[in-house]
Structure 1
């Protein structure tokens, strides 16, 4: 309660500061707003004081009156017309004529190395405003994109501060770099976890190869361009955004209670001809609910304050941010501190200089990665503590095996802290000369250090949970990356022709250094000062390593428009990457071309009244993926003791080839085709966009098995092994309207359809198996094979449950027992073996969709977003991952087979046996879901009240994220990504994932 009171008090203090700001002198401005074409009055035009949400609207005759600071700027905005700004400059009368606008197509979007009018874009580019990102409860800006962009699939984790997994138009690689490229103010990054979402002005998602190709080697999985907030001309503007709330586990799995657990464990013992463990199951009652013991309602608070302003010669923006997020598991916490500062200087009329720099510090108290497995499996008959204060011990109940633990012990004795420090930014100079030329040079860097310190003391909590020798581990990782870019742009309009030419060059270096160390017998320190030097010298270990990659690139682009009707875009980039030096094509070439036809600008469309805008577009391009290990074609040798020769009684260790490497490794190249249509109707109130795409990855890199008899330390070899395809359709429709001066709203819906397919594999029809992580007996549950999707679930099809010994004897599974799965004999040979396995499901979502709405009525605003996926399967590995007397879910207990006729779908308690635990259709479940992603209600104090103070805006809001989740999956969440170590061939396997949380917040926004 003290922490909650403290965090709410911070919000209250800012409220009080806002209300006590001194009175400022305002003037009253009146005027009339008319249509620039037919000169008729425009009712309901929005008039805002720039930089605020305070303003008014015109009446039925187009008249308005507003009290504003004498030096303010008014922004006039109306659906279907071009927004217009007017500086007050002590004027008391300002009349405005608004020009009709093709609003959506005339807006400017950020593209690679510049901006374009949307009407000129021939590729597929989606833009999301910073205000739509910062209002989300997510601490990572990428998470806020979920459900907002067609064709973009995001998988979140409940782990505090975690980076979401994102795929754009399907998975196009297996082994290479799986992540998208983030370009923040011109600097390239692998993730943007260091960014405070409130610092973002705009995010552009480049989805097709034509728009991506300007980034060549890193664009195969998509590109996201991030523009951060910059200074604006005018008096200083101070913004504060803060919120406090809590996270709560959603859809918590109900486990069997102690009585039910004792009952089903006795059944398990009987099935294995062992005596019952519990004489009287009902005597244990409810027992321990381990989820309730470990979980909590976790606090989350976020504060960000910024100041920006400037003159005609200089502008500035400065911000500070603080986020404190508890995990739903007790003891877990994540904190982030951010600072960002940017300056632009107009040194001369033709010369502009600027820089942007940001710093981030992240500290976290971590939890044991196996805690969720323990919470799922721990026996409820075991108490957390005995009456004497000692820990409840599973051995006291003869549980043994895989259930020999007390999760509270794991929480209490796990001590790991992570620290991450990062500084990044860029500096640039921009010179305009000869009227049409602009030269820009920039240098950027990303320097970070991450340290993880873990300490396990010597302790004895239970018979099975003890540690006799203390251990300290210190792992440190450092990154030193820089990028230099130079571009020359020519832009000119002559007659009906518009031409923009861009040429540039890029040089990059990415350097990583790591050191992993440990020491034994490090004494416990109550103040937390633990050092490797305190341990036993003979037991200290240190491993250090690193990597260095360099890149050189040349690129060019031409944009041409004739009469704003016919559009042409052509790009070519050449990249060289050090990974391929001496063992592959050092240079990769990535061309692209796009064309567009603005049909609505044709003469024959002038008299029609259906379309405000109508545009056809198409594009083709190639992009690359250089995300492979350094020196992948270099053969390495080890001297492990695998081969030993003895001469004169002395053992000599032989040298072994560490792994086979390809003699030649080529780039992964992705070729994409995109065809689209954009249209606007009903005075631009309704806008639609539809795209068809066909994306093919050629020479995809991944590992294939090799014979162990070859004698290498590794049983796999990487190479250009396959061709992959993602083909699909995207649709976006948006309706915006302003029925009257008090009310406006927008409703936007999108859907993406994607089909993933392996076109060819160098091994022919021999499949690549994977997905053994967290599955009983290490069985491989996925298959990647020609003609199928990446990482399809693969195993036995269940036809029912054996009810009697007679049924078993008459089947192809004579070694089974009543209560076991009955598998389908697919080939009819009377034997159940690996030849009877079939495709069980697809972990790659076919459909993803979102609905995003906003409603504004006077000072009130309401928004809600709905998001979901469909046509996807997940593998529930938790059920059969058993090594002893683990607990069962309540669902399994209620539906289990426990005698002839009791169930023909769920097996007996012996589900963990080798026969029943084999990958099969019972464990594959529908992963579709739909959720209320975000709902927010806000209220801004009226402009009449704000005008009495120097304050420009005060808004309070309440919101909820993930408050309603609808799905049929029997786990915490069907939103399951892939294991970072194995990639997409392990996608969708639930081996105790971090549960999803709902977040509820109270927030405040103040602007001075």
Structure 2
């Protein structure tokens, strides 16, 4: 066959491809005729049937006529049809199927046709099959702009080309992708090489896409299998089988500054990916980890919408900050709350020193690596995730009704000798008018929408996502809104260069003021919510009229305007180049920008006897955080030896920030709410910070014979927060592992699929200590008089300034030395996988504020001077266990996982520092103490013995004390009071009888999940819990304290009333401190198990999707979810999941577990939709 014919064929079919591509993109041409209607085509066929065919015609003319008649392109070589004539007797050109006509027409001349598209045919010789098809297969698939017909084409060729434009030679390619056993593989990416066209296989492994020509190459790729390329050629069905990639099956996980095969890890690393996330609805990244990883506790800092959660890894190892380092797509110090959960591909938690030491000074509390979703080659794929739902309080406290409350007030007055107010002797107060808990709680609506678009070619990929969250709180008038935008691009330039960029934007807004639980619980139940006679229109109670000065919580909700706004932007640019095989260089620059604004307007109203004036408080802040990193890595295999080397450096500008706080008061009305128009305004505070650090790091990984592994790393950090001579910190680590399963002696033990022993040692640091600790703090007093000093016997205050914190030029790094021993094994072809770890974290040189002697002459009238010193040591040690099992039986598949962690925290030394007393409760009592021999922030106080039943019992206690030389056993003790245990046995209750009562750091953490699917249905549930933990219920100070006539819990109905009463509730109205000392009276068991998530979903089968809606949807799933549906606990408060009374990083450590009225976690019900297009 001549080359000229092949050239013509290439041109025509290329034009067919171009026209189809342009049509798909919505491009039209003025010269392109419209397609004939069915009526026109029928008329043409009738006219052709009536035509006289008794005269002879040549084959060429007949083929052209057939092409026009059927509106198709028929291509042929002149030499092939030359000198072939046909009479009417040989062939009748009448209506009928084209392919039958062609077959009848060509068979006598040893010719045949080949379909080259939906409406294109090529005439070839039966004896030139290979040559003809080879000619067609050489057509390039490059995109060429339409031009005038080449001069080399004859008039017939031009006519054929014109028809070809109307009928592109594209062909639908179908097929099925299977594994080595012949089972269909769902989710395989099928992409046309060099284009953005692509699809994924359905649940049966089937696919269908349109190819431009026989020279197209299909690329099949799937995680865990070797990629494969197939030339389309003359096939319309391309079935392939993918082979298992034994290397890919060895799961690759993200580690510090790189990736590694999971089987080659020498440290304690846990990965939670999309498979483990399942289809759980979550509003934060931390929620995705709840109950998923052994030794990791997720502490929710409250149920307020938008509130953050803390991640604690293997206990608390510092007195300043327990937060881990967050790394998002390689960016250190990223804001984990800036990433939408829907954008996260997987989360890796590094727990031991061998894994975290590469991050040095920032890794003492562990490292959390977040990898976001990347673009995938293929046609644009759009997915939508959204849900609507409602959140509600799952528990209310049992409080007294009006009649019970009035009787309580009278009982208290009787004990304290007070006159009962006249109002309380009227029947009007016996009516319960208000359920104050109901007034502050509500059912809050929740809405979330998230759209993701991904696509690209083998040269460039993109991923774009946008999300919107609107969440009402379960407390009235409180709400949270968030907008997330994320763009990620990656480009391959040649074979050796890769470039990428990521832009992440987050806007969040909070509105409303959370009501006070304490005030709501203390309000009299007979009081109405509103009183038009009062300024502001809300009711009030007073001490004189009601003997209750609780504050109505509703004005704080409805007469204030509280608004918080925050914007954060993260920009990342990176580039990689493969210098030579195995040698790669990467550089990346990241910059984070954030600004915030808070606005709080308080209207004018009367609350109790206090007039609240109009006031505005406003603040602004801005920060910028740039980081530049360079990494050089090299991998090499020599025989049985595998080497990997990595070296790099980081320049971190830290966070440069500025802030200003302003206030204004004296507004004449509520119309203009600007500080500038207030009668009195001022700047109440400003702040700024700036620092920079440098780091150098390296790592060596060696493996011999895929059996023996060594991983060693070193990092040096330079940080100006420490003394000049101590700014450099060196942090080494080493990890080793033995793959026992790969040994020859294990080959005959078939039920053991995998077995690896590992151990690690390393040192990490803690740089999250705050700034300016090496600088002095100067105090100049409060008020205009700057009162600081007191002199003489009368201690008269004098003006001046003094140093309250003395600088320490010898301040150095906190260091944590950690050892870890672990074993990983798999059974039954790895369907059952188990991981066990033992660890010990020894944290030393912890920073502590050490008080200085009064003789220094420093300090103020309130506090002694102090110096921050490396004084304390603490130890965490424990073990972890995690197991998972997955299986399938026909259409039913399941996976089950469970984990648990045991951790014991202990303070070893405080150096010269005094114990840290903290944890202030609602009554102003400090309930926690950090001292040697107990856990950090342990509860400390007296142990309750009993409620004294009678005056005779009091006398007996006092007689024992007198016998030992004391005047009384316990100061102020009367019948009906609590008596405490005499722990030192000296016969009297003193400070020496206080002891450690327990810890808010749980000894046990655990979690589990179950995922089931049957055909189109799926069911998943997730559990999480803690045990051997204490919570101090400070709300009970008000609801059971009864020293003042506030409304109280129904528990006070069992209070002691007369001699002989046996109860654990002391008398009401007692006026001694006995019953309210720091003790275990309000200390409760904080253990709980919570059903975090229960989801039932239904996915519309692919067969239905393909047969309806014009194949618009690639997936369609609806689901219903219940969050926090069930909580098993003995805790009496609103919620056992208590974080802290103060939530800054340092105070959190010492007040964790003190419940002063924390916003509870809501119970949430959702209905959602997940759609793929």
Q: Structure 2 CA distance, aligned partners of 1:658 and 1:68?
A: 75
Distance 1:633 1:130, change over 3 A: same
Question: Any conservation in 2 of the 1:316–1:344 contact (CA below 8 Å)?
Answer: yes
Equivalent-residue separation in structure 2 for 1:757 and 1:652 (angstroms): 44
Q: Report the CA distance between 1:477 and its aligned residue.
A: 1.8
Aligned to 1:971: 1133
Q: What corresponds to 1:513 in structure 2?
A: 658
Q: In structure 2, which of residues 1143, 1163, 1168 is the aligned counterpart of residue 980 of structure 1?
A: 1143
Of 1077, 1094, 1099, the match for 1:935: 1094
* 1:445 maps onto 2:595 in alignment: no
How is 1:906-985 mapped onto 2 (pairs within 5 angstroms)? 906-910=1065-1069, 914-948=1073-1107, 949-978=1111-1140, 979-981=1142-1144, 982-985=1147-1150
Structure 2 counterpart of 1:4: none
Give the SS at the match of 2:926. Answer: coil
Q: Deviations over 1:943-987 (max 9, x none)?
A: 112224032111111111101111000001111123234231211
Q: Over residues 573-600 of structure 1, what are the superposed CA-to-partner deviations in whole Å (9 max), with x where a residue is unaligned?
A: 0000111143x51100000000010001
Distance 1:611 1:276, change over 3 A: same
Alignment partner, residue 889 of structure 1: 1049
- Report SS of the residue matched to 2:564: strand
Judging changes above 3 Å, is the alpha-carbon distance between structure 1 residues 33 and 110 closer, same or farther for their aligned structure 2 residues?
Answer: closer
Answer with 259-268 or 834-843: which moved more.
259-268
Give the 3 Å change call, closer, same or farther, for CA 617–591 of structure 1 in structure 2. Answer: same
Distance change (3 Å), C-alpha of 1:463 and 1:993: closer
Which has the larger displacement, 416-425 or 625-634? Answer: 625-634
- List per-residue Cα deviations over 1:840-887 (Å, max 9, x = no partner): 111110111111111111111111111111010111111124673222
What corresponds to 1:633 in structure 2? 774
Task: String of CA shifts for 1:376-406, please: whole Å, max 9, x gaps.
Answer: 22221211124879422212873356x3311
Q: TM-score, normalised by structure 1?
A: 0.90
Q: 1:87 and 1:244 mapped to 2: Cα distance?
A: 45
Contact 1:52 1:952 in 2 (8 A): no
Partner of 1:818: 975
Separation (CA, whole Å) in 2 of partners of 1:438 and 1:627: 32
Aligned to 2:312: 167
Q: 1:385 to 1:643 in 2, by over 3 A?
A: closer
Q: Does the CA contact (< 8 Å) of 1:199 and 1:228 recur in 2?
A: yes
1:107 aligns with 2:251: yes
Partner of 1:367: 513
Pairing of 1:146-165 with structure 2 (within 5 A): 146-156=290-300, 157-165=302-310
Alignment of 1:776-925 (within 5 A): 776=923, 778-811=924-957, 812-881=969-1038, 884-890=1044-1050, 892-910=1051-1069, 914-925=1073-1084
Extract unaligned runs of 5+ from structure 2: 1-169, 191-197, 212-217, 792-796, 958-968
Higher mean C-alpha deviation, range 706-715 or range 216-225: 706-715
Distance 1:518 1:25 in 2: 71
CA distance in 2, matches of 1:912, 1:242: 57
Give CA deviations for 1:84-105 in whole Å, capped at 9, x if unaligned.
Answer: 777796762424264485987x
Aligned-partner Cα distance in 1 for 2:322–2:482: 26
- TM-score (normalizing by structure 2): 0.78
The answer to which structure has the higher helix fraction is 2
The match for 2:869 is 719
Q: Which residue of 2 aligns with 1:493?
A: 637
State how far apart, in whole Å, the 2-side matches of 1:394 and 1:183 are.
52
Please state if 1:341 is matched with 2:483: no
CA distance in 2, matches of 1:775, 1:295: 21
State the alpha-carbon separation in 1 of the partners of residues 1139 and 901 from structure 2: 18
* SS of equivalent to 2:889: coil
Check the 8 A contact 2:329/2:370 in 1, yes or no.
Answer: yes
- C-alpha distance in 2, partners of 1:962/1:903? 38
Q: Which residue of 2 aligns with 1:589?
A: 730
SS at match of 1:171: coil
Cross-structure match for 1:689: 835
CA distance in 2, matches of 1:566, 1:546: 51
SS in 2 for 1:880: helix
Aligned residues: 950
1:103/1:998 CA distance change after superposition, 3 Å: farther
**Deviation digits for residues 205-260 of structure 1 (CA, Å, limit 9, x no counterpart):** 11111101111111111111111111111111111111110111112222222222
Q: How far apart, in 1, do the equivalents of 2:522 and 2:219 lie?
A: 63
2:1166 to 994, 1001, 1005: 1001
Decide which of 700, 716, 729 is 1:574's aligned counterpart: 716
Select between 594-603 and 604-613 the one with higher mean Cα deviation: 604-613
- Give the match for residue 548 of structure 1: 690
Q: 1:490–1:180: structure 2 CA closer, same or farther, 3 Å change rule?
A: same
> For the residues of structure 1 that align with 2:1170 and 2:569, how far apart are their CA atoms?
28
Distance 1:75 1:347 in 2: 21
SS of the equivalent of 1:170 reads: coil
Higher relative contact order (CA 8 A, sep 6+): 1
In structure 2, do the counterparts of structure 1 residues 821 and 600 end up closer, same or farther at CA, with 3 Å as the change threshold?
same
> How do 1:304-319 and structure 2 match up within 5 A?
304-319=450-465
For residue 140 of structure 1, give the secondary structure of its aligned residue in structure 2: coil
Distance (Å, rounded) in 1 between the aligned partners of 2:201 and 2:1033:
52
Distance 1:189 1:585 in 2: 23
Gaps of at least 5 residues in structure 1 are: 1-23, 35-40, 58-64
Following TM superposition, by how much is the alpha carbon of 1:683 offset from its aligned partner in structure 2, in angstroms? Answer: 1.3
* Distance change in 2, residues 1:116/1:964 (3 Å): same
Of 279, 284, 288 in structure 1, the residue corresponding to residue 425 of structure 2 is 279
Aligned twin of 2:677: 534
- Counterpart-to-counterpart distance in 2, 1:565 and 1:374: 65
* Residues 1:608 and 1:262: Cα distance change in structure 2 (over 3 Å): same
RMSD: 2.6
Cα distance per residue 1:413-456 (max 9 Å; x no partner): 22211010111121011111121211111000111011111112
Per the alignment, in what secondary structure is the counterpart of residue 385 of structure 1?
coil
Matched ranges for 1:54-453 at <5 A: 55-57=202-204, 66=206, 68-70=208-210, 92-96=237-241, 98-99=243-244, 106-130=250-274, 132-133=276-277, 135-156=279-300, 157-175=302-320, 177-189=321-333, 191-277=335-421, 278-279=424-425, 284-368=430-514, 371-386=516-531, 390-395=537-542, 398-400=545-547, 403-453=549-599
Contact 1:520 / 1:540 at 8 angstroms: preserved in 2?
no
Larger Rg: 1 or 2? 2
Q: Is 602-611 or 233-242 further displaced after alignment? A: 602-611
Closer/same/farther in 2, CA of residues 505 and 100 from structure 1, 3 Å limit: closer
1:131-177 C-alpha deviation (Å, 9 max, x unpaired): 654843331111221100111001112011011021000001112x3
Q: In 2, distance between residues paired with 1:843 and 1:430? A: 47
**Pairing of 1:711-790 with structure 2 (within 5 A):** 711-713=858-860, 714-715=863-864, 716-740=866-890, 742-763=891-912, 767-772=915-920, 774-776=921-923, 778-790=924-936
- Alignment deviations for residues 66-119 of structure 1 (CA, whole Å, 9 cap, x no partner): 353357876778xxx858777796762424264485987x10111011110001
> Does structure 1 retain, via aligned residues, the 8 Å contact 2:178–2:185?
no
- Residue 53 of structure 2 corresponds to none
CA contact (8 A) 1:600 1:613 kept: yes
Residues 333 and 364, structure 1, Cα contact 8 Å, conserved in 2: yes
Using a 3 Å threshold, how does the CA distance of structure 1 residues 864 and 26 change in structure 2: closer, same or farther? farther
- Equivalent residue of 1:271, what SS? helix
Question: Which one has a larger percent strand, Structure 1 or Structure 2?
Answer: 1
Deviation, 1:43, is: 5.6
Give SS of 1:213's match: helix
Name the counterpart of 2:9.
none
CA pair 396-886 structure 1, distance change in 2 beyond 3 A: closer
Contact 1:522/1:531 (8 A) holds in 2: no
